[in-house]
Amino acid sequence: MILEYHPKFKKQHKKLPSTQKRRFAAALAVFVKQPYHPILYNHPLTGRWKGYRSIAFGGDWRAHFILKSRDVTTNCTNK
């Protein structure tokens, strides 16, 4: 799996509290091994975000992503 990070994600990630950075790293490690693990709550998005999927990484924090064959482009958001 190849992960690509959207420039906006990189900027948002820098601003995350250290606790959320650790939670994201842990969720990402699970995602790489088991993308549909129940702890991630991996689900498709609708409306404006149609075509994207989302995983949870602590509280109200979500990472939105697009699957492109083996590539994943990630964006981060606080719900």
User: b/e per residue, 58-72, with b = 16+ CB within 10 A?
Assistant: beebbbbbeeeeeeb
Q: What is the CATH number for 8?
A: 3.30.2310.20
Average pLDDT over every residue of 12-16 = 91
What total number of domains does the chain contain?
Answer: 1
Which H or E run contains 21?
Answer: helix 18-33
Q: What is the pLDDT of residues 23-59, one digit of tens each?
A: 999 999 999 899 999 999 999 999 999 999 999 988 8
Q: Which two tokens stand for residue 34?
A: 């088991």
59 contacts 24 by C-beta, under 8 angstroms: no
Q: Which domain holds residue 18?
A: 2-78
